[in-house]
Amino acid sequence: QPLLTTQSPFQSMKNISAFGFDMDWSTWTWSWTLEDPTSLWCNLGICVFYAVSVKILQVWVASNAKYTPPRWLEPIRKVHNISLAVVSFLMFAIMTFIIYKDGRLNSWHDMSCRLTPNTGLYGFINFIYLVSKLWEWVDTYILVL
């Protein structure tokens, strides 16, 4: 039984189904597979965009001999790092609680082979984890600047 049983504030949002990504906002049930060829191209496109944009930023910074980081960058960096640390800790704490309650720590078999349904609070935290991986890409831009 899902740990997040109250109605989602996203209940009225339309479900998303594109590029191998399926999301039911009302139950936080989602999956993202590479079975659909468009999903593979979407993921590849995201990675290429990221790599090219970082390289362009590196070239721009290196070509500007008098470049100094903008003043607003340091406070943004601090807020970014603190926010990411807090979100990461919360994800760790909630996931640890969920896998404990689900009995995933009972044995090596349960820990490594049994799947917890990607729905409810577990699905929500997994979705936040996915978003945080994209959020962490901002670190690279900050480091280049």
pLDDT higher than 90, residue 59: yes
Task: Convert the pLDDT of each residue in 87-100 to its tens digit.
Answer: 999 999 999 998 89
Q: What percent of the chain has pLDDT over 70?
A: 84
SS3 content of the chain, % helix, strand, coil (to 5): 60, 10, 30
Q: Sketch the domain layout of the chain as residue ranges.
A: 17-144
Sign of CA dihedral 131, 133, 134, 135: positive
Mean pLDDT of the chain: 82
Highest averaged pLDDT of the listed ranges 39-43, 53-57, 123-127: 53-57
User: Cα–Cα distance between 132 and 139 in angstroms, integer?
Assistant: 11
pLDDT: which is higher, 21 or 124: 124
Q: Where are the beta strands (DSSP E) in 68-129?
A: none
